[in-house]
Structure 1
Amino acid sequence: MEQGDCDDTSQSAAASRREYHKRATGRCAQSRRNAMSATHPHHDFAFRSRPRSAGACIVIGTLIAAAACGGAAARDAETLPGRTRPLFEHKWLHPRDLEFSENRFTPPDSKSALVVTPSGLRAFVIPDTSERVVQITAAIPLGRSFERMNEIGAAELLSRLLSQQISDRLGPAFVGRVQTDQDVDLTRFTLRVLAEDWQPALTALLLALRQPRLDGAAIDAYRTGAGFARQTRGLGGPAFRPSVELARMLATHPLAPPDPGLTVRREAIHDFALRSLRPSAVTIGIGGGVTRDSVQRELQSLTAGWRTPAAAAGLVTAAGVGKATSDRFRTIDEPGYTTWIAAGHPMPTTPPADEAAVAVMTEILNIRLNISTREIRGLANATQLQVTGTIRHDGLLHVRSGARPESVAPIIHFSLQELARIREPGGAPTGDELEQVKGGLVFGKWQGTLDGARDASATYASEAARFGSLDRLMKWPQAVRAVTAEDVGAVARKYVHPEIMGTVVIGQIDKVRQARHPRWPVALDDLMAAARR
């Protein structure tokens, strides 16, 4: 750098620019004069300069190549295999070395929150005077796992009829939100209203459950739907199409949703409603800006005289049956940039003794799948393992993902590798993995469902409707903390079987078959052939 190139605080910006332009123009003119002189035939030095110029070019080229090689080597030394980004050097502490204040979280007292009406209806009321919103949740054992063979489709139809009746009773002036969520064994109707509107909302909800209008014309016109939604982003919930198609390929009702286009008889809906909508089967959760005494009076008034009919039978959970199929690979052609994937197999009902270990195993596998397919190889934004089986009913253990055509086969390949690895002694979870997952399950998920009046009341209602009490919920942290690496390996060998997994791929199948990833060229046709052996 020349002295004149340095900043001069006493010189104005405009003068600096003029001086810079003058020097730059002078250098360019001198360069042009030298170039013209080098080619002029009347100067002897022009012929002597050529060897020096060639030699200089060789030296400069050598230096540039060496610098490039050195830079590439330095970059390679700063990256992990498969990564494109350099390592970030930092002085952060390892999570195990961080010090936190003791977690003193205590869930709301469920005993003081419980209200039982003379009709047998249970409610968990958790007041919070600082809240301006009230959430009312009705949890009902209403799902396809309770359908008899002549009632297939009744659970979805009944939940639709009830949801419509709740909205009708609330009226067009209602300000709030009504939401219906249906699992295989439970349906939740959730109303969120302002604190001054909780009484008419509770009235509309309970009257719809107590006096359901089972319109014959609506029942006759009903047909079961496709069971899935068009996937555009994310990995969805129960309507994720690859998972629905996988369940239909490998199992029967109730693990698989009903086939589209089925009708439901009026008698079937009546019998199903009689069993499901009993006051002793309904559990209510109310949290937010209410008082316990006012809610108790309203509940007793609304449920007075509500009795369980003598003809109402108890609820019995139906068991799904696995299908014996030699073809465990299915492709569905569908337009779209992203190809969606589900790979898995049916999972039996989990004994209570294995439940915590299965939850820990699931979270560990989710971490490993994310590292294998996203962090190391960049194949997908997300790859998830979902286990829908519980201690009450069968389910589906499966991996979900979505990616570009060239990444589909590698995702399936490396996901199955991770599922197989956790079954082996060399794939046992490390101490860090166990601590991370246990902390997430207890301080993240469990505590999150009980933090606040609205969430806690809804969680208590759902748990009591499913299991009859809150014992399992309150003992969950201790059960999770007691899980060992040996427990995880044992449940992995018991429940995870990559060799029998079925696979569903939905997308532009021709492109997926032709595509090859430049670094992991796994072919979809090879995976399909292996699945059919």
Structure 2
Amino acid sequence: MTFVRDRQIRAAIAAIAVSVFASGAHAVIAIQRWVQPDGAQVYLVESPAIPMVDVQVDFDAGGRRDPQDKTGLASVTAGMTSRGVRAHGNQPALDENALSEAWTDLGASFGGSAGQDRMSFSLRSLTAPDLLARATALAARQIAEPAFPADVWQRERDRSIAALKEAETRPATIASRAYNPAVYGGHPYGRDATEATLKQIGVEDMQAYYTQRVRACRAKVSIVGAVTREQARQMVSTLLARLPAGGCSGNEPVVAEVPKLDAPRDIRIPFDSAQAHVLIGQPGYRRSDPDHFALTVGNYILGGGGFVSRLYGEVREKRGLSYSVYSYFSPGLHEGAFSIGLQTRPDQAAQAVQVSRDVLRQFVADGPTEAELKAAKDNLIGGFALQLDTNRKLLGNVSGIAWNNLPLNYLDTWTQRIEAVTVADIKAAFARKLSPDTMVTVVVGGKP
């Protein structure tokens, strides 16, 4: 049976891209939205061509909610939900091996993870009625009844600490751990889990955090696949039925905003390596910011467009200072960082930093040319269909719409919004968001 299901899954996955492109890159993507009786918000795209469904359940339980002395709590809590479920009624407990085998027998997959803003659970299953019902029921157990076994956590904590120690021997990790707190100024976005914070976390902390944050009324559920609205409604009811009821009417603890930088910071960390690692940046913008499209197009021109970006042209092509150089924004519920990154020979680091700063300063002052703008629009719009060419990619977009409270027609109007961006829009948006003279610069590499 498992072999047959594996063949069905492979066939379904192979057919997804065909079905998407056959429907046309500019087809309307109808997103339905409703609120369940328990308060969960549901976003559904019916995609009947493939007998498969992808589901993502998001909660406001990401790293921004971690206590400072227990940074990493959200991430390890989400990971531990796959390490076994408790007994419930006449249903026996399942340890991590039995749980893994149960998912394999169903030919389905389920897992949890946590980022800065949200804790997410993802389910993928074929939609044959018996399989889907069993997969949904098992997912409901894993969401609501994680066992958090203490012995497994001890093992996982030891593994995590060993991995952290190994990572801290790499210049990229050292650069990131210096850069993040300098950019975010004490905000949770700038904190990284350490050996000390992981040792502060016990299974009782996971249980308390999970009970408080993971509730049906806090859920945003995104669904893409071969299910009707009524089937989706029933799925969500089953998925969330075992979670604690209510508990969402009180005032939420407010997470402070990212503080502005009022002066530049230059951090140099000696490290014996062939390449110096460079990061330059500052707080950027929140995902809800109306400048999002102008900043997206502008950053493609500045450093997000790979070989065709200004930074690449000046740093790599003209001067040969780095194999690659890039820039990006990472917006979230709070102001995620704007960053420029590159690697270069330690003796060239000062020049590479100066050239990158000069390119950025000129771009913020003058904006792009009309030719750069047209090329960026052509590339972004031409590649848009590739963001939607599988159900899983479409689910990622739908969950982003749900999480950020974007309009339901966001995907249908995306190309028009990109096309509408002007040189003046980009220049104004970058001038509002970036201050080249007050950025953080981190260089890891070179002799003391």
Q: Distance in 1 between matches of 2:269 and 2:444?
A: 6
Aligned partner letter, 2:322:
A
Q: Which residue of 1 aligns with 2:283?
A: 346
Q: Does 1:495 align with 2:433?
A: yes
Q: Which residue of 2 aligns with 1:172?
A: 101
Aligned partner letter, 2:442:
V
Q: Which residue of 2 aligns with 1:411?
A: 352
Distance 1:268 1:303, change over 3 A: closer
Number of residues paired by the alignment?
A: 397
CA deviation profile, 1:250-287 (whole Å, cap 9, x unmatched): 42131212451112366754553244312132233343
Q: Of residues 264, 288, 292 in structure 2, which corresponds to 1:355?
A: 292
Give 5+ residue unaligned stretches, structure 2: 1-23, 86-95, 304-308
Q: Distance in 2 between matches of 1:433 and 1:153?
A: 41
Q: Which residue of 2 aligns with 1:153?
A: 72
SS in 2 for 1:299: helix
Q: Which residue of 2 aligns with 1:242?
A: 175
Q: Which residue of 2 aligns with 1:505?
A: 443
Q: Distance in 2 between matches of 1:435 and 1:405?
A: 36
Q: Distance in 2 between matches of 1:211 and 1:364?
A: 48
Q: Which residue of 2 aligns with 1:253?
A: 187
Percent of pairs with identical residues: 21
Q: Which residue of 1 aligns with 2:234?
A: 297
SS in 1 for 2:234: helix
Q: Compute the displacement of 1:246 (Å).
A: 0.4
Q: Compute the displacement of 1:383 (Å).
A: 0.8
SS in 1 for 2:331: coil
Q: Compute the displacement of 1:160 (Å).
A: 1.9
Q: Which residue of 2 aligns with 1:385?
A: 327
Let me know the Cα RMSD of the aligned residues.
Answer: 3.9
Q: Compute the displacement of 1:486 (Å).
A: 1.6
Give me the TM-score of the superposition, normalised by structure 2.
0.73
Q: Compute the displacement of 1:307 (Å).
A: 5.0
Between 244-253 and 141-150, report the one with greater CA deviation: 141-150
Q: Distance in 1 between matches of 2:124 and 2:169?
A: 28
Give me the TM-score of the superposition, normalised by structure 1.
0.63
Any conservation in 1 of the 2:77–2:210 contact (CA below 8 Å)?
yes
Q: Does 1:329 align with 2:267?
A: yes
Distance 1:306 1:186, change over 3 A: closer
Q: Which residue of 1 aligns with 2:29?
A: 108
Any conservation in 2 of the 1:143–1:186 contact (CA below 8 Å)?
yes
CA deviation profile, 1:144-191 (whole Å, cap 9, x unmatched): 223455764332232222243486674325155555553311233334
Distance 1:290 1:145, change over 3 A: same
Q: Which residue of 2 aligns with 1:22?
A: none
Q: How does 1:195-210 map to 2 (within 5 A)?
A: 196=128, 197-210=131-144
Q: Distance in 2 between matches of 1:465 and 1:435?
A: 31
SS in 2 for 1:131: coil
Aligned partner letter, 2:72:
G
CA deviation profile, 1:315-357 (whole Å, cap 9, x unmatched): 4433344688885222141x55443221122335476222222
Distance 1:325 1:177, change over 3 A: farther
CA deviation profile, 1:217-256 (whole Å, cap 9, x unmatched): 66788598687984999x9xxx965234201234213121
Distance 1:298 1:420, change over 3 A: closer
Q: Of residues 181, 187, 193 in structure 1, which corresponds to 2:119?
A: 187
Aligned partner letter, 1:384:
Y
Any conservation in 2 of the 1:419–1:498 contact (CA below 8 Å)?
yes
CA deviation profile, 1:392-421 (whole Å, cap 9, x unmatched): 202221111123444433322211111011
Any conservation in 2 of the 1:127–1:453 contact (CA below 8 Å)?
no
Any conservation in 2 of the 1:228–1:241 contact (CA below 8 Å)?
no
Asked which structure has the greater CA Rg, the reply is 1
